[in-house]
């Protein structure tokens, strides 16, 4: 008997290969947003530094979030079509089924993040990060991708219909706009400003920004890591327990 | 195989305060086809989910292939195959890859031969290398069942295996199911169609509101329901009363102004009824010949129609 996780992962990778549109969407949308904000509107924002340098960290996060919509749909389709029940009756462990989706999601995310970084350089992105700081950036992006993928898998399982599954990730796509991704939080109106300052994405973006500028601040990196690990743990246990409970 | 393949006693299940299974008892002898007949919402799928270890019952015991589903779920899963209510095929994979996926997930030797045999048997060889998304509903259902058969299970659960299929695909599915039982496999299937239960099953249990309201062979059940009859609808209560008086065995529904008259449905006997109405210058506004269906079974067994059972 082959390892269940590997069989499942191979299935999810085949899905990506057979349905390149989902990857294309995940890559295209963040790049469109990037061109819109940096190339078209960038000169209108005064943030104290070159706008592409300011915006890129937030756009990395956006690149991760845009890829998640297709993940919740794929998980939900497995559930509603009875494919998950089929696997359950075959005694395939929950982790094997769900990890396949998560790893495929992380790979899609990494492609999108790579593309966004590439376009950022074309637009004049000039980071000051050292090699270890780049590694830390990659580590945080990976952790972010893992954590949000697990949450998305859970949301895909909880959603009753594919239509809801398509909508559940919208907040994840909207959250970066209500963070310091596009403009600094202190330039926002009252209410939104406080929300933006304290929501998890802002600390993650600030951590990435500090690392890419070569001046990481522990005050940003530590809360960012705490948020990410917290989201990962909640997502993982939520997804696993939902998988086990549902029939 | 001899003895019981599936036994259940006192199964209960409620979601929040909605009772879905209200004390189900089942006994399916090995090597037979058992049909659970009922409308949507009767509890068919929940029963299948409980019998196949997917859902835990609130009360009651189930033994499948001699193992207890609660304490020995793994052993039960090894013995059974399940085809759910929707064709659980991976549409982005080809037919062959779907079967390969099942081989990879089971401890099976000789997977290639099994896959080739199943494709051949279900007439899917030609389309084996096309993505399942291009398959028709009937082909998907066949692939779905083929995937269930990869591990050669001796007990198979089929949840509404022909719902949504055209009549020809339905016939094909029936032939496949009969062939399986000829090989000694035990099958529990659910269906909304009396005709299907009648054609396939050795025994039928009628499920309504989470309870089994009748059980027996198809012939036993059919004896309990009104046979073929002719229905007339009249314009006035007076006409209805006259017609009831002049036609033998007629029963009137005064509210609907409908008269039901037992008949074999043959032209000769129907003409006799029409002639008789003519003699008394009665003119019915509507006329139809009615053969028993699930609605009649329900009306006869539960006193309400299947529509009412849909909550």
B164 or B123, greater pLDDT: B123
Q: What residues form DSSP beta bridges with B6?
A: B28, B64
Nearest CA to A7 among B147, B89, B109, B101? B101
pLDDT at residue B309 is higher than 60: no
User: Considering the domain B229-291 in this protein, what is its CATH number?
Assistant: 3.30.70
pLDDT digits (tens, 9 = 90+) for A52-71: 888 889 899 999 998 898 89
**Runs of H (alpha helix) within B247-303:** 267-279, 294-302
In contact, B194 and B289? CB cutoff 8 Å = no
Does A14 sit within 8 Å of B93, measured CB to CB?
yes
Cα separation, B241 vs A222, in Å, equals 88
User: For residues A41 and B18, what is the distance between their CA atoms, to the nearest angstrom?
Assistant: 56
- pLDDT tens string B21-46: 999 999 999 999 999 998 888 899 99
pLDDT at A52: 84
Distance from CA of B151 to the nearest CA of A (A): 9
Strand boundaries in chain B, DSSP class E: 4-15, 18-29, 33-37, 59-64, 67-68, 80-83, 155-159, 186-191, 203-208, 211-216, 229-233, 251-253, 258-262, 286-290
Query: What's the whole-number mean pLDDT along residues B116-127?
Result: 92
Note the pLDDT of residue B294. 64
Element containing residue B22 per DSSP (H, E) = strand B18-29
pLDDT of residue A51: 82
* B84 closest CB neighbour out of A19, A85, A91: A85
Residue A168 contacts residue A156 (beta carbons within 8 Å): yes
Interface check A161 vs B, CB under 8 A: no
Model confidence at B201, pLDDT cuts 50, 70, 90, reads very high
- pTM confidence score: 0.81
Query: Do B4-222 and B229-291 show the same overall fold?
Result: no
**Percent with pLDDT over 90 in chain B:** 53
Closest CA in chain A for residue B151? A90
Q: Where are the domains of chain A?
A: 4-245
Q: Is the pLDDT of residue B310 over 70?
A: no
pLDDT of residue A2: 54
Q: Is the pLDDT of residue B165 over 90?
A: no
| CATH code of the region B4-222 | 3.40.50.300
Nearest to A82 among B85, B105, B106 (CB): B85
pLDDT for the residue numbered B159: 92
> Cβ–Cβ of A89/B101 closer than 8 Å?
no
Question: Residue B145's pLDDT is what?
Answer: 93
Residues B248-277 pLDDT 10s: 888 888 888 999 888 877 888 889 999 999
A11 and B93: CB-CB below 8 Å?
Answer: yes
Q: Which residue did the predictor score with more confidence, B229 or B186?
A: B186
- H or E, element range at B286: strand B286-290
Spans of chain A below 70 pLDDT = 1-2, 247
Any idea where the domains of chain B sit in the sequence? Answer: 4-222, 229-291
- Spell out which residues of chain B touch residue A247, defining contact as CB-CB under 8 Å: 49, 54-55
Radius of gyration of chain B (CA): 23
Whether A199 and A174 have beta carbons less than 8 Å apart is answered as no
Given a cut of 80, whether residue B9 has pLDDT beyond it is yes
pLDDT value at residue A44 = 74
Estimate to the nearest angstrom the gap between the alpha carbon of A214 and the chain centroid.
Answer: 23
Maximum Cα interatomic distance, chain B, rounded to a whole number of Å = 77
**Would you call B79 an interface residue with chain A, using a CB distance cutoff of 8 Å?**
no
User: Mean pLDDT score of chain B, rounded to an integer?
Assistant: 88
| Complex ipTM value | 0.84
pLDDT of A1:
41
Question: Closest by alpha carbon to A75, among A165, A11, A146, A167?
Answer: A165
3-state secondary structure of B253: strand
> Is residue B107 less than 8 Å (CB to CB) from chain A?
yes
| Structure-token match 């492609």, residue found | A111
């Amino acid at each position: 008997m082959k390892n269940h996780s590997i069989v499942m992962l191979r299935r999810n990778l085949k899905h990506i290969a057979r349905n390149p549109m989902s990857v294309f969407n995940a890559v295209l949308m963040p790049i469109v947003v990037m061109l819109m904000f940096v190339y078209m509107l960038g000169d209108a924002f005064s943030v104290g530094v070159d706008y592409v340098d300011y915006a890129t960290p937030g756009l990395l996060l956006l690149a991760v979030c845009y890829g998640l919509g297709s993940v919740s749909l794929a998980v939900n389709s497995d559930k509603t079509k009875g494919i998950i029940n089929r696997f359950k009756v075959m005694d395939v462990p929950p982790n094997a089924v769900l990890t396949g989706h998560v790893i495929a999601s992380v790979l899609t995310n990494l492609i999108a993040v790579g593309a966004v970084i590439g376009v950022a350089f074309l637009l004049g992105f000039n980071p000051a990060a050292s090699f270890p700081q780049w590694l830390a950036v990659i580590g945080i992006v990976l952790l972010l991708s893992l954590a949000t993928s697990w949450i998305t898998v859970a949301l895909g399982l909880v959603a009753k219909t594919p239509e809801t599954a398509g909508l559940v990730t919208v907040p994840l796509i909207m959250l970066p706009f209500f963070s310091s991704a596009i403009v600094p939080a202190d330039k926002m109106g009252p209410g939104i400003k406080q929300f933006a300052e304290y929501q998890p994405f802002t600390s993650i973006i600030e951590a990435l920004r500090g690392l890419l500028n070569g001046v990481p601040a522990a005050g940003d990196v530590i809360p960012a890591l705490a948020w990410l690990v917290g989201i990962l743990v909640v997502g993982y246990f939520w997804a696993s327990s939902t998988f086990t409970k549902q029939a | 195989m001899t003895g019981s393949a599936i036994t259940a006693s006192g199964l209960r299940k409620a979601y929040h305060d909605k009772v879905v299974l209200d004390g189900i008892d089942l006994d399916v002898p090995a090597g037979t086809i058992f049909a659970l007949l009922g409308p949507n919402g009767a509890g068919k799928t929940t029963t299948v989910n409980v019998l196949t270890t997917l859902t835990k019952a609130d009360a009651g015991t189930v033994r499948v292939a001699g193992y207890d589903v609660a304490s020995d779920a793994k052993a039960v899963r090894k013995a059974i195959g399940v085809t759910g209510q929707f064709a659980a095929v991976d549409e982005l994979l080809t037919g062959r890859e779907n079967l390969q996926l099942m081989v990879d997930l089971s401890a099976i030797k000789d997977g290639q031969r099994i896959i080739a045999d199943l494709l051949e048997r279900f007439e899917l060889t030609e389309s084996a290398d096309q993505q399942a998304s291009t398959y028709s509903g009937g082909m998907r259902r066949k692939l779905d069942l083929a995937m269930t058969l990869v591990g050669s299970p001796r007990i198979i659960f089929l949840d509404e295996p022909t719902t949504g299929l055209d009549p020809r695909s339905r016939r094909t599915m029936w032939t496949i199911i009969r062939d399986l039982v000829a090989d000694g496999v035990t099958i529990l299937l659910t269906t909304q169609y009396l005709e299907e239960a009648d054609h396939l099953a050795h025994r039928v249990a009628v499920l309504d509101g989470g309870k089994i309201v009748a059980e027996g062979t198809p012939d036993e059940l059919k004896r309990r329901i009104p046979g073929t009859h002719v229905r007339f609808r009249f314009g006035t209560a007076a006409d209805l009363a006259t017609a009831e008086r002049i036609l033998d065995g007629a029963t009137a529904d005064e509210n609907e102004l409908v008269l039901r008259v037992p008949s074999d449905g043959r032209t000769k006997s129907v003409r006799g009824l029409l002639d008789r109405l003519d003699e008394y210058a009665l003119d019915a506004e509507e006329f139809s010949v009615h053969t028993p269906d699930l609605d009649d079974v329900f009306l006869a067994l539960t006193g309400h129609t299947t529509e009412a059972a849909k909550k």
